[in-house]
Amino acid sequence: MKESKPTSAGHRNFSTVDYASLSKSPRLKNLTRRLKSHAGRNNQGRITMRHQGGGNKIIYRLIDFKQVKFNVPARVETIEYDPYRTAFIALIVYADGERRYILAPQKLKVGDKIVVSADCTFEIGNRTQLKRIPVGTFVHNVEMLSGKGGQLARSAGSSIQVLANEEGYTHLKMPSGEVRKISWEAYASIGQLSNAEHNLMVIGKAGRNRAMGVRPTVRGSVMNPRDHPYGGGEGRTQRGTRRPKTKWGKITGGRRTRNKKKWSTNLILKRRKK
């Protein structure tokens, strides 16, 4: 982590990740796109997601979550920062000359060799089927359905532990503590994802949040009664309603929100802790 000197109120508690270890080379232009910012609005211009808007312009990197070039070795060219995600990304070049961006696991270095194969070794960055991965191994970018591409464990420092293999399924322990079954034909990458110190960052000041496209969040208790169920009263008053609610009066506490008819419910062996 990189901590700032207290030269001002905003810098007194400011800390960020040290990016000195990342490559200084520019992004690969044919693997980047400019995404239009909608600031939380829908096609009618109405706010459907609050607290979004503004921020610095950022460019999206096309990440290869599927990695379907089997048995073609690749070399890591750069480890880069990605403004659209918390983990670092790696630019790899395959033996046939093609370049792609992938999620960079921890301890992956420039010059390392990786491969996607059904019989590869269990080195950091290699990708193979879950049924081959030894019990106790930590993996990331895990597919939920074979061939769909990685959907699980894609944020900074996250990883999933392989617990068992039986009857066509692999038992995985999620970062939340949930244990679920995934088809052992699905692919996963070896290792924990990079930038594990991301959760230690301290924003320090409101202006830095605005630069990231986050607009102010107002507490319901300081609103008027017409604007929120918690609003009104004289000074710092109590909530005024027995159960916690959203701005629109929807009850949020003590109720499970997962759809009971969801197809994957039977694949969950142990629910996460409250």
pLDDT at residue 218 greater than cutoff 90: yes
pLDDT of residue 254: 81
47 DSSP assignment: B
3 band by pLDDT with thresholds 50, 70 and 90:
confident
SS3 content of the chain, % helix, strand, coil (to 5): 10, 25, 60
CB neighbour list of residue 251: distance below 8 Å, 6 or more residues apart: 243, 244, 245
- What single string gives the DSSP state of each residue in the chain? -EEPP-SSHHHHS-EE---TTS--SPP-GGGEE-PPP-TTB-TTS-BSSSSB-------EE-B-SS---BT--EEEEEEE--TTSSS-EEEEEETTS-EEEEEPBTT--TT-EE-B-TT----TT-EEEGGGSPTT-EEESEESSTTS-EEES-STT--EEEEEEETTEEEEE-TTS-EEEEETTSEEEES-BS-GGGGG-B--SHHHHHHTTB-----GGGS-TTT-TT--SSSS---SSSS-B-TT--B-SS---S-TT-GGGGGEEEPPP-
pLDDT at residue 274 greater than cutoff 80: no
pLDDT tens, position by position, 27-60: 999 999 999 999 999 999 999 999 999 999 999 9
205-214 per-residue burial string, b: 16 or more CB within 10 A, e: under 16:
beeebeeebb
φ/ψ (deg, to 5) at 190: -80, 135
Question: For a pLDDT cut of 90, what percent of the chain falls above it?
Answer: 84
pLDDT tens, position by position, 232-264: 999 999 988 888 999 999 988 887 888 989 988
pLDDT of residue 10: 86
CATH code 3.20.20.10 for 2-199: no
The SS3 assignment for 115 reads: coil
135 DSSP assignment: T
Domain with CATH 4.10.950.10 in the chain: 218-268
Domain with CATH 2.40.50.140 in the chain: 2-199
pLDDT of residue 4: 87
More confident residue, 257 or 156: 156
pLDDT at residue 149 greater than cutoff 90: yes
pTM for the predicted model, two decimal places? 0.89
Q: Which of 42, 87, 40, 94 is nearest to 63 (CA)?
A: 87
Query: How far is residue 137 CA from its own chain's centroid?
Result: 20
The answer to whether 154 touches 146, Cβ cutoff 8 Å, is no
CATH code 2.160.20.60 for 218-268: no
**Mean pLDDT computed over every residue of the chain:** 93
71-89 average pLDDT score: 95
